[in-house]
Amino acid sequence: MRLATLCWWVAALPLLPLALPMAMHTRRTALRLAPAAGSECGLAGSELQGDPLRLLLIGESTVAGVGASCLDFALAGQLAAALALRLRRPVAWRACGENGITAGEALKRLLPQAADEPVDLVLLVFGVNDTTHFSSSRSWQEALNGMARHFVERGAQVALAGVPPLQHFTALPWLLRQLLGWRARLLDRQLRALAEREGLVCCATSLEMRPEFLALDGYHPSALGYRVWGESLADWFVASAQPSPEAEGLALDLSV
């Protein structure tokens, strides 16, 4: 893993004189979308029977719902609705997100906001800002593990969302997409290694990227992108609740 990171830096350093002005120009001229409106808490499947599954999302701008009009149509609301439909039980959700935050900053700022939340399933959604802020591998993994361990020790199931594919973010110039996409894939590999090492669950979702899945800023998901992502995650969660012999001990328990 260290060799892969070293290879990235060796390849990226000669391109920095080109990439840095591109990054600064993109930052100055990029369309800025506000976080989604609405309450950070909701209930999906209220007409269904049974105790609600308590779902908590902690993360960056996608948890804050940037790109959607309200949180019901962002990742938290869409995932909760998809889970309620598949599990045939209500899902009470909460979105604890902040635009532009890294995992290390979230450990200090967001975790205290949700530390005492009674919760069954926690999804940690990070990676874009740690990619663009060049967070160190150690701080990235320690922050994620710190948040995950807090909820595991309280009896919750914890899942790590994969790092988004920055190579498909049309707001970025081609060169930045390639460099940051490569780095995002490195962080995603570290994420999976962390999950395996610590006995956590890493969501193995893969989506075919389409232009309509991105919001007007070319950087965040659109309402359709959030719906497709939420449904894909829900499918993965339900499948993971049916453990194979090889995955024994790592399966999610989503039973009533």
Q: Specify the length of the chain in residues.
A: 256
Q: What is the DSSP letter of 214?
A: B
CA atoms within 13 A on the CB side of 254: 27
Structure tokens at 188: 């995603």
Note the pLDDT of residue 247: 47
Contact 37, 69 (CB under 8 A): yes
Reported pTM: 0.89
Note the pLDDT of residue 23: 61
Distance CA 22, CA 8 (A): 18
Q: For residue range 88-140, list pLDDT tens digits in order.
A: 999 999 999 999 999 999 999 999 999 999 999 999 999 999 999 889 889 99
Q: What is the DSSP letter of 10?
A: H
55 pLDDT more than 60: yes
Backbone angles phi, psi at 247, to 5 degrees: -100, 15
Domains in the chain with CATH codes: 2-7+35-240 (3.40.50.1110)
Q: Tell me if residue 217 falls in helix, strand or coil.
A: coil
Model confidence at 248, pLDDT cuts 50, 70, 90, reads very low
Q: For residue range 154-189, list pLDDT tens digits in order.
A: 999 999 999 988 888 998 888 888 888 888 999 999
Mean pLDDT of the chain: 87
Model confidence at 256, pLDDT cuts 50, 70, 90, reads low
144 pLDDT more than 60: yes
Distance CA 113, CA 192 (A): 26
Radius of gyration, CA atoms only, the chain: 18
